[in-house]
A and B are shown apart, each in its own frame.
Chain A
Amino acid sequence: MTEHKDHLKVALLQVADDHLILGHRLSEWCGHAPMLEEDLSMPNMALDLIGQARHLYTYAAELEGLQRSEDDLAYLRTDREYTNCLLVERGNIDFAHTMLKQLYFAAYMKPFWQFVEGCSDNTLSAIAGKAVKEISYHIRHAGEWVIRLGDGTDESAERMHLAVETLHPYTEELFWIDEHRKICIDAGLLPAADVVRPQWDATISAVFEQAKLAIPEVTYPLLGGREGKHTEAFGYLLAELQYMQRAYPGAQW
């Protein structure tokens, strides 16, 4: 176990950053949803994601052994130190983009957590056991919306098609594997791409078929987040996310 520690920390930070940033993005809808029911449901899912991020940051900090806290990792790193994939930092744009983004991510995380739940690391397995239930609901909720928007009115279908065209090239990065993750995969702690990919494909195909959407060919995958190279929007996101800790260092509530 100890020989994987540093690599596992790097790999878990990628996953933690995905959850924090996607959860933050989703929380931006709070108070702005088209109806009250959805205004409760989206922050609900955002809280699931941020909760998962907290567990992952706490464990990553423990593996690191430098006395950093989950807050240090979440709020006090610079943009280049965040290794979330670009998909999760994309702006919400509209309801179609938002729900599709959630679906793409949840469809990836479900088989990821299912694998991790059975791994030999007890802490990871416990985090996964809780997360897999939450993420299964995210697939259902986002999936049902994608179906209804894709197979809805002319306007909703048009917005859904545009969202697919825009976001699909970002999905390739979900399956990114670097040397750190490779070592964790070989150690049986994290799933290999061929464990997760077929299930992701199956989930997306099933939803898209009902939503009357076609899966586009990706000729030019958009990558960079895992290496700390983010989009312009990311700076604005971090400015808001980190504001409290930057303005009032060490603030607690």
Chain B
Amino acid sequence: MSDEKMIPLWEVFIRPRNGLNHKHVGSLHAADGELALQAARDVYTRREEGNSIWVVRAEDILASDPDKSAENFDPAADKIYRHPSFYDIPDEVGHM
């Protein structure tokens, strides 16, 4: 649709509660940032899903190349010493 060419796509991130991270929830079309925030409020927070919204122009997001998955991610597979699972956590620390 020609409208969609004129109206840019935005990716929407919602923070469900204080202390949690913003999480990607979906996308929408809006003419500019302010309208994108309003649309995100109306589309994605109708059921009390969050208390903060970020919107980012979809075209501003750079994505890694799926064809380079092997060279990007496989080398980490055998480096188990990077996981902090060899430490004993003192009881006083509690839940981490």
Residues on A close to B: CB < 8 A?
34-38, 40-41, 44, 137, 140-141, 144, 148
Contacts and interface: CB of A to CB of B under 8 A. Distances in A.
Contacts of A148: 31-32, 35
Interface of B: 3, 7, 28-32, 34-35, 38-39, 41-43, 46
Contacts of B28: 36-37
Nearest to B35: A144
Nearest to B28: A37
Closest 6 CB pairs of A and B: A37-B39, A41-B42, A40-B42, A37-B28, A44-B42, A40-B43
Given A41-B38, A144-B38, A148-B35, A35 B29 contact: yes
B46 to A, nearest CB: 7
Contact of A35 (B3, B34, B38, B46): B3
A140 B42 CA distance: 13
A42 to B, nearest CB: 9
A137 B35 CA distance: 12
A193 B43 CA distance: 36
Contacts of B31: 148
Contact of B38 (A34, A36, A141): A141
B7 A35 contact: yes
Given A35-B7, A37-B29, A148-B31, A140 B43 contact: no
B3 A37 contact: no
A141 B3 CA distance: 21
A35 B7 CA distance: 10
Contacts of A41: 38-39, 42-43
Contacts of B46: 40, 44
